A and B are shown apart, each in its own frame.
Chain A
Amino acid sequence: MSAESTRGPHLVSGPMTGVLIAGLAAGLVLITVAAISIGSVNLPFGAVWKTIGTRLTGAGAGDPLRDQVIWDIRTPRVLVAALVGAALSVAGVALQALVRNPLADPYILGISSGASLGAVLVVAFGASAVGGLGVTGAAFAMSILSVLAVYALSQRGGRLLDSRLVLIGVAVGYLCSAATTYLQLQVNPTELHGLMFWLMGSVAGATWSDLGIPAAVIAACMVFLLLQARNLNALMAGEDAAAGLGTSVRSLRIALLVIGSLLTATAVSVVGGIGFVGLMMPHAARFLVGGDHRRVLPVALLMGAVFLVAVDIACRTVDRPNELPVGIFTTGLGVPFFIWLLLRRRSGGA
């Protein structure tokens, strides 16, 4: 029965989990370098390594123009994609535990749309319109409001109803999207590009200054979630069973609500609304390592980062020289996945 000697029922278990995490981390580094080297002008891998190396160590620089392209333009963009992928994926894990429903995702529950609305409010009317909050703060406030609305409306007799949750989430999301569209057209009827940004998401134009807040938020949320991993597992057994196992269900749920909103708002305020990453990545992680959050969390975080970097590469290369919004790809992959999950549940699957 000891985890060391026997193989559990999951595809990856025991010490192999460490190998998987190390492999994903290595994969993230490789795909990051690949993503930096691919662009309107493809740069050799070696040059990318060299520039990153000299910038990190402070050694003498090479070709200054190439250095600038690699370090100031491409690197932050790729790192933002990785951070946003990680944030949305971890947000998905938190929300799925919160509502005890594997269909939960920041986008499906309307949180992304709420965050977009908050961000656009600031862009449209300035910070004073939303009580002096910045873009991230307003996005966070609106995402909390929308998740609270969804959470409250999906309950009956103190219990969350599966069937209502997704429908209410989608409805709230539509309402926020409509408001966002209206505001954008009011402010600047010609700037359709900006509208697309908040509705479909894009990592184009990210700079180094976009990285600090998301990195800090993700790190803080991950530490909290990992410390609460046993309680998150207990929550998967139902709120009553979790209470019996010594979990303070109510306070944990409030914390998860805040964390899910915070991660989503952070991602949205940097790159706009990107759907379904938080749905697909936690599922993929659980498919590999089972339901234990101590393994799901790091695996989902890394998979989310790798996934969004890969999607960003696709966005830049599929329709050259045009760049497609990231949301087209994540939604294109996510919707069939969502439908597949729904059908599997209806047919009595686990």
Chain B
Amino acid sequence: MRLVIEGVTAEIDSTPIVSGVDLVAEPGQFVGLIGPNGSGKSTLLRTVYRALRPATGVVSLNGADLWQMPAKRAARHRAVVTQHGDLTAEFSVAEVVAMGRAPHKGLLDREHAADRAAVAESLKRVEMAWAADRLFSTLSGGERQRVLLARALAQEAPLLVLDEPTNHLDVRAQLGLLDLIRSLGLTLLTALHDLDHAAAYCDHVVVLENGAVRASGPPLEVLTPEFVAEVFGVRAHIGPHPITGRPHIAVASM
């Protein structure tokens, strides 16, 4: 699934938050969206998962305008893990994941064996099958995030959008989640906070600053020490990770 964002401008209460953003995610690519707080990452993602209609510009999947298709069809093409995933009522884990089947169901459809299989398979992929009959609210933060990822997987959409999926997770859960989403073989568009994660996991990064694209390209080409200093206001050392050998960014305050 090829995602193309072209000249997207998005406003909240008539205040422009994102202006003229272009971005391309090639099929199977892990694209990281990075930038300081308030740079417009979440707002841009909201235009991709149809929570906020762009004021101008087009978001398209394989050439089809995402905002022109019915909401359900769009949800069969792209799934999302949002930042605030808490539920206001008590649902079992299986029920939460089953919500991901909604885009595949007509108004009068009941759950079929195929839906239950998709739910079970999604839970297995995130290693949460054991929790199917638990209450979602009783899980830890890391477990909940995995369940919400399973819900997105149950949508069987080739594009997965994630908004800072590692927020509020402990280190082990953070790396576990990133390893997991990278292994899915989906096209990924992920807002990330941690530059080191972006360097180690992404094929391509897009840096937002004040709602506009400041730079984009492979992480090591974009995230030079000078660039990181200018945009993020920290000193950076870039080299191979001492344990994994993957690109590694160490940062220190100015």
Contact = CB atoms under 8 A, between A and B. Distances in A.
B108 interface: yes
Interface stretch (B90-98, B217-225, B240-248): B90-98
Shortest beta-carbon contacts, A-B, top 4: A246-B75, A291-B89, A244-B80, A246-B103
Interface in B129-178: 129, 132-135, 137, 148, 151-152, 155, 161
B190 to A, nearest CB: 14
B134 A9 contact: yes
Contacts of A3: 94, 116
Contact of A227 (B92, B108, B137): B108
B86 interface: yes
Given A230-B105, A244-B80, A249-B51, A236 B95 contact: no
Contacts of B73: 246
Contacts of A248: 71
A231 B107 CA distance: 10
B87 A244 contact: no
Interface in A222-245: 227-228, 230-231, 233-234, 236-241, 243-245
Contacts of B213: none
A10 interface: yes
A1 B51 contact: no
Interface string A1-31: 1110011111001000000000000000000
Interface of A: 1-3, 6-10, 13, 96, 100-102, 157-158, 227-228, 230-231, 233-234, 236-241, 243-249, 286, 290-292, 350
A245 to B, nearest CB: 5
A1 B95 contact: no
Contact of B161 (A238, A244, A291): A244
B250 interface: no
A215 B151 CA distance: 38
B46 to A, nearest CB: 7
B133 A247 contact: no
B29 interface: no
Contacts, number: 123
* Chain A contact residues, majority secondary structure: loop
Contacts of A286: 89-90
A96 B95 CA distance: 19
B51 A240 contact: yes
9 contacts: A1-B119, A8-B92, A8-B95, A158-B12, A228-B107, A238-B86, A243-B46, A244-B50, A244-B78
B133 A291 contact: no
Contact of A101 (B84, B87, B88, B134): B88
B155 A245 contact: yes
B189 interface: no
Contacts of B91: 233, 236, 290-292
B92 A10 contact: yes
A144 B208 CA distance: 42
B72 interface: yes
